[in-house]
């Protein structure tokens, strides 16, 4: 029987002892085992801190985010291989989808957060703080990656999601992970981890996985480490009190199972969409993952006059839940993860039944499809009811971690809130109501005891992710029994793995440290207009001072007429008494427009577009005959993804200060955003001279660096593509599928090379076509002649669009982009560049 392996210190290894058998939750078969004997835990943690941490910390947020995106795409292409293993945990296809593809979704979501961080290894948080009246002493906050490891102690119910929702966050922060999945489902976590390691996308040491219970894991953690735990509240409390955590002040985040409550609003009576949605949501939360969810609804709190209706309709909904082998399409609920878990649920239900009545389901009877109920870890959905929830308090204290929930009544919204709060803290609560006043009453009063609250109504139902679905952009955690921690939460989650440090100094020094221009810092006078520089050549502090402009009465009146902004201060000088204005006043937006007229460079260059304004302030009025000048300074650079038909570019934030030229007083300022093109340094421009130079190096004996083409085959291939580009050959269908054609088409604009061994659609793979010309020299002459025809065609037809086999319809400029990429690709293939 194969042992589950661990990936530690750069290699896969197995524990030395025989190991503990792991059973298939459906069949009861022992198919693998887990052993941890012989693992050197202190060295494993230190390996992560050094080997993985050093590389991750040097990467920028953009690099880390793109790494996660690449990994998410890699795993998604291989997702089918994980489903067969997931069935062994008792999960249905839907359950597995939540775990597997939900986990990959966390990678995608966290990858997108790179847009909110600077393109550097650390984050600059918040606004600068002026600590002096003169503006020469200031402070800011930076956040740098911790120099430790993230130790993740995970639960059994979501072996993939549980691992990736945590790792995605610490990787984005620049911190490596050591993951400890629960043994009963660790074989699935191992399979995903093995695929991640095999991809080579993460730097070595960024991920280590120990598939088993290691009681000594906290004995050698250090102050720079972060520990997270998902599981039972009792186990979490024991870990949280570990002496090493206290001694080293190690951050500890706990996400514990909680007695989550869902409330039916008084308006959501039988026959309303909200009543139906409530029944559907409770049924789903009871049966998805067989109720083995930390966010599942354990307490069903309903108006006392609707208890019978809820009990009847929820029973009918549960009647439709088929139980058995999750591989079968007709099965809607699988099994628990193990027989031990079944016994734990039975014990909890028996305790609950001392104060509540079982009104649906039977612990001793279950019908299964395609599986032996006695061999697998199956259990029936169990619905209980207590009519006195304030007296029978065990329902607020004991959790059955399976398909179990309890109905209880309330008389008023105050009572509903009290009952929800009697769970002493939960991860999530929800309320079904179409009355926003009821929703506000519950949310505001119950929020202190819940990490997340969802309001269910007819308007959001079609797009809702559901009561039990934590989302990467939202905080996941809760107070009290739920652990008092936070996970995910977008940028918040990433900041848990960063050290926040206040920095103080002069504006000039802090500009250099943060990479963000601070007011009153020294300017770096640009040698030419800043708009002439490409993205890479611009740096914070780069600055220019413009010439002057004087506002006239006519300017102000014309701006009013152009914009239809006839505010009295601009148009009616007889109404200025008692106002803050003394004379005819320039419009604020005219001031900004006039400033732009002073600092904008008119000629075509790297600045491709105005991207907007981020802040704008007018410090005092400006009147007719006032004269201004502008100081334009690069404030910050923000990288961006480009997915449309445009060249790679980034956003530059320009700090535009507007001064009164008479006394150099600052009268207004704005942060102006421009889209600035990045340098193209990948491809050589294919001029006639460059082509001749390259072809002069080509002979019959030249060997390709990749592929099977001969020199003549390559030249004849280029000649053929020029026939397409010049319009001589157009009788073909575009080979690229319509659903990806736009993406392929826009790739012409990026600076990525064609992949080696790319297959041309009309050429049979691994087979060369017959040559058409007698020798290489003749082929070169035909190639040059055909290229001239292509150039001439677009001179005569500059607005023409022609089909291309791979990239669809191309205009003149796009044909040029393709030519540049294509010639570079093949000339590099034969070592001509």
Q: Which of the residues are catalytic?
A: 255, 294
Q: Please name the residue that has the structure tokens 């001031």.
A: 591
Q: What is the dihedral angle through the alpha carbons of 159, 160, 161, 165, rounded to the nearest 10 degrees?
A: 110
Q: Which two tokens stand for residue 225?
A: 């480490």
Interstrand relation of 226-231 and 150-153 (parallel, antiparallel or unpaired): parallel
Q: How far is CA 678 from CA 104, 534, 606, 640, 649, in A?
A: 31, 6, 7, 11, 5
Q: Treating both helix axes as pointing N-terminal to C-terminal, what angle do 80-87 and 93-112 enclose, rounded to 10 degrees?
A: 130
Q: How far is CA 131 from CA 392, 504, 581, 806, in A?
A: 58, 9, 32, 60
Summary count for the chain: helices (H), strands (E): 24, 30
Measured between alpha carbons, how far is 390 from 415 in angstroms, rounded to an integer? 9
Look at residue 347 and give its three-state secondary structure. Answer: helix
CB neighbours (10 Å) of residue 245? 18
Whether the CB-CB separation of 172 and 495 falls below 8 Å is answered with: no
- What residues contact 247, with CB distance under 8 A and at least 6 apart? none
Residue 416: closest CA among 383, 453, 471: 453
Please report the sign of the dihedral spanned by the C-alpha atoms of residue 619, residue 620, residue 622, residue 627. negative
DSSP 567: -
Q: How far is CA 783 from CA 128, 187, 740, 770, 821, in A?
A: 61, 58, 31, 16, 17
Whether the CB-CB separation of 1 and 32 falls below 8 Å is answered with: yes
Measured between alpha carbons, how far is 378 from 398 in angstroms, rounded to an integer? 21
Measured between alpha carbons, how far is 213 from 183 in angstroms, rounded to an integer? 7
Q: How far is CA 660 from CA 625, 664, 675, in A?
A: 11, 5, 28
Whether the CB-CB separation of 430 and 281 falls below 8 Å is answered with: yes
- What residues contact 800, with CB distance under 8 A and at least 6 apart? 727, 793, 794, 811, 812
Whether the CB-CB separation of 286 and 403 falls below 8 Å is answered with: yes
DSSP track, 469-509: ---TTSEE--SGGG-S--EE-THHHHHTTEEEEEEEE-HHH
């Amino acid at each position: 029987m194969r042992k589950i392996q661990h990936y530690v210190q750069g290699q896969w290894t197995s524990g030395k002892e025989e190991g503990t058998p792991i059973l298939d939750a459906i069949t009861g078969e022992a198919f693998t085992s887990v052993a941890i004997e012989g693992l050197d835990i202190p060295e494993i943690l230190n390996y992560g801190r050094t080997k993985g941490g050093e590389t991750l910390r040097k990467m920028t947020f953009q690099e880390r985010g793109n790494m996660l995106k690449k990994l998410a795409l890699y795993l998604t292409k291989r997702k089918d291989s994980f489903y067969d293993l997931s069935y062994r945990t008792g999960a249905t296809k839907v359950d597995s989808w939540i775990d597997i593809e939900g986990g990959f979704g966390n990678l995608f979501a966290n990858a997108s957060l790179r847009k909110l961080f600077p393109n550097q290894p650390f984050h600059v948080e918040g606004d600068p703080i002026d600590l002096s009246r003169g503006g020469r002493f200031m402070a800011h906050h930076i956040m740098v990656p911790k120099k430790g490891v993230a130790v993740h102690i995970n639960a059994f119910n979501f072996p993939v999601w549980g691992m990736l929702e945590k790792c995605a966050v610490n990787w984005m922060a620049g911190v490596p992970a050591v993951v400890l999945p629960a043994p009963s489902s660790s074989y699935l976590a191992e399979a995903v981890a093995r695929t991640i390691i095999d991809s080579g996308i993460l730097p070595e040491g960024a991920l280590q996985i120990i598939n088993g219970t290691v009681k000594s894991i906290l004995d050698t953690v250090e102050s720079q480490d972060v520990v997270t735990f998902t599981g039972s509240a009792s186990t979490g409390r024991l870990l949280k009190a570990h002496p090493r955590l206290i001694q080293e002040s190690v951050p500890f985040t706990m996400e514990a199972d909680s007695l989550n409550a869902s409330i039916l609003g008084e308006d959501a009576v039988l026959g309303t969409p909200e009543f139906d949605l409530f029944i559907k949501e409770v049924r789903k939360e009871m049966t998805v993952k067989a109720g083995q969810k930390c966010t599942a609804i354990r307490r069903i709190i309903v108006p006392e006059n609707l208890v019978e209706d809820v009990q009847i309709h929820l029973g009918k909904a549960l009647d439709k839940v088929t139980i058995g082998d999750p591989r079968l399409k007709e099965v809607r609920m699988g099994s628990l993860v193990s027989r031990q878990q079944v016994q734990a649920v039975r014990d909890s239900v028996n305790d609950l039944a001392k104060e509540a009545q079982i009104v649906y389901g039977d612990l001793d009877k279950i019908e299964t499809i395609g599986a032996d109920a006695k061999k697998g870890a199956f259990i029936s959905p169990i619905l209980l009811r207590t009519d006195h929830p304030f007296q029978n308090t065990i329902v607020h204290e004991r959790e059955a971690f399976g398909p179990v929930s309890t109905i209880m009544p309330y008389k008023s919204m105050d009572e509903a809130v009290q009952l929800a709060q009697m769970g002493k803290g939960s991860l999530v609560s929800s309320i079904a109501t179409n009355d926003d006043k009821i929703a506000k009453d519950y949310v505001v009063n119950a929020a202190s005891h819940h990490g997340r609250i969802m309001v269910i109504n007819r308007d959001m139902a079609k797009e809702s992710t559901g009561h039990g679905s934590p989302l990467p952009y939202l905080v996941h955690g809760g107070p009290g029994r739920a652990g008092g921690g936070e996970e995910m939460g977008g940028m918040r989650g990433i900041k848990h793995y960063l050290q926040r440090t206040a920095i103080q100094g002069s504006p000039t020094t802090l500009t250099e440290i943060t990479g963000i221009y601070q007011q009153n810092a020294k300017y770096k006078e640009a040698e030419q207009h800043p708009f002439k520089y490409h993205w890479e050549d611009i740096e914070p502090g780069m600055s220019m001072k413009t010439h002057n402009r004087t506002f006239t009465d006519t300017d102000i009146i014309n701006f009013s007429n152009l914009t239809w902004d006839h505010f009295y201060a601009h148009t009616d000088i007889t109404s200025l008494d008692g106002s803050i204005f003394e004379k005819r006043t320039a419009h604020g937006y005219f001031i900004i427009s006039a400033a732009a007229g002073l600092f904008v460079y008119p000629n075509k260059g790297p600045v491709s577009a105005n991207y907007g304004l981020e802040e704008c302030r007018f410090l005092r009025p400006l009147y007719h005959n006032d004269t201004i000048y502008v100081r334009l300074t690069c404030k910050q650079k923000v990288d961006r993804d480009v997915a449309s038909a445009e060249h790679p570019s980034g956003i530059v934030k320009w700090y535009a200060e507007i001064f009164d030229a008479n006394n150099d007083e600052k009268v207004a300022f704005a942060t102006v955003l421009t889209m600035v093109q990045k340098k193209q340094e990948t491809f050589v421009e294919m001029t006639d001279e460059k082509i001749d130079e390259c072809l002069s190096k080509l002979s019959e004996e030249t060997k390709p660096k990749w592929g099977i083409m001969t020199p003549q085959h390559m030249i004849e291939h280029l000649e053929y593509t020029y026939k397409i580009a010049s319009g001589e050959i157009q009788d073909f269908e575009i080979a690229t599928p319509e659903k990806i054609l736009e993406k392929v088409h826009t790739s012409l604009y990026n600076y990525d090379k064609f992949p080696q061994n790319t297959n041309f659609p009309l050429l049979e793979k691994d087979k060369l076509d017959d040559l058409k010309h007698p020798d290489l020299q003749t082929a070169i002459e035909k190639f040059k002649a055909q290229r001239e025809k292509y150039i001439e065609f677009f001179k005569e037809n500059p607005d023409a669009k022609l089909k291309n086999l791979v990239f669809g319809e191309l205009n003149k400029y796009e044909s040029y982009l393709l030519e540049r990429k294509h010639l570079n690709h093949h000339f590099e293939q034969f070592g001509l560049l």
